[in-house]
Amino acid sequence: MQRLYRKRIVLGVGGGIAAYKSAELVRRLLEHGAEVRVVMTRGGAEFITPLTMQALSGHPVHLDLLDPAAEAAMGHIELAKWADLILIAPTTADLIARLAQGVGDDLLTTLVLATDATVALAPAMNQAMWRDPATQANLQLLQSREFKVFGPAAGSQACGDIGLGRMLEPTELALCAAECFQRQTLTGKHVVITAGPTQENIDPVRYITNHSSGKMGFALAEAAVEAGAKVTLITGPVHLPTPDRVSRIDVVSARDMLAACEAAMPCDIFIASAAVADYRPEVVAPQKLKKDPTKGDGLLLQMVRNPDILATIATRPDRPFSVGFAAETEHLLDYAARKLKDKNLDLIVANDVANPSIGFNSEENACSVIDRQLYETLFAQTSKGKIARQLVAFIAVRIHQV
């Protein structure tokens, strides 16, 4: 069930005997890659201890609406924004009634009022309570508001009755939760992206670098997450916030970046959008270099080649689908095609950085993508965010053809 991978699920635990199943439900959701935070009502905490749910989820359990410690860590509004799905299991008849009336008198009902996420209910109650017209009317009202209802199942109940009202089993509920999410183009894929410039030290206060802002790489990371991928973003020194749900690794030099890339392997897709310095000073001065009048006005630096990160990754025995970038100022397509072949790439993205409207530090981009057959696909000038989504969609189609 890759559709649950990296999805954020708030599991609400109501005050019913079926709360004992919620512990197993946490395990099932985690097994499928979901991130789980648990919110318990006072009744829920009477049936199963918060400590149990904390141990299983790996996170503190949220209990009270006005808990200063919880608000400092992740306030209820932030928790409501965090969730992709709020799954309440078990959902008692009382809880259904309060949700139908829009009551927000505890943490769980307040979260439901404050969230834009899908809310799903797993009813659990006595068969007579389930059949009661008030319960059914409340459920119909909630379903008209696009709440999802999973179950209930029929069978023997804790009170000795037999009929509808049993909460679905944890495995079934995990499947139902997965159905709340569409399968995306990169669901289950691990994508490693490099971004930004590298810096090569001359001495403790000076270095060689370039004009890359990292904006394109960060936009690609965000687009890959939107497409369902697990994303590792390896970036040189930039001043950009980390996109949501992206694992970020900060590096400085080309050799640092190569080491981080190799440590991140294996992956399914490698996108090298970083502007990596081709050369570095052979010797880094241990102290700040001072002007030397005896040597005239010049400064001679002996440079050596940096390792080729893209070629190194693209020629590994377990090579991922490899995408390079060619930022050129002339002969754009010729140079890009040569780089594609020399580095054993699947695709290369070529863009003209001599054009200030789409070059380094710009907010927009335009590019051509060249494949192994040297077929060129054009992407017209637009924002880097839109270009990133177009590129990720293009890559997703190609990787499924491999």
How many angstroms separate the CA atoms of 85 and 139, rounded?
A: 18
Q: For the beta carbon of residue 368, count every other beta carbon within 10 angstroms.
A: 17
Catalytic residue among 159, 261, 267, 367: 159
How many angstroms separate the CA atoms of 331 and 352, rounded?
A: 9
How many angstroms separate the CA atoms of 137 and 143, rounded?
A: 10
Question: Nearest-5° angle of CA 183, CA 184, CA 188?
Answer: 85
CA proximity to 121, closest of 78, 80, 177 = 177
Angle of the 107-114 helix axis to the 93-100 helix axis, nearest 10: 40
| Number of residues that make up the chain | 402
CB–CB of 208/280 below 8 Å?
A: yes
The answer to whether the Cα torsion of 151, 156, 159, 164 is positive or negative is positive
Q: Does the annotation count 261 as an active-site position?
A: no
- Catalytic residues, by residue number, are 159
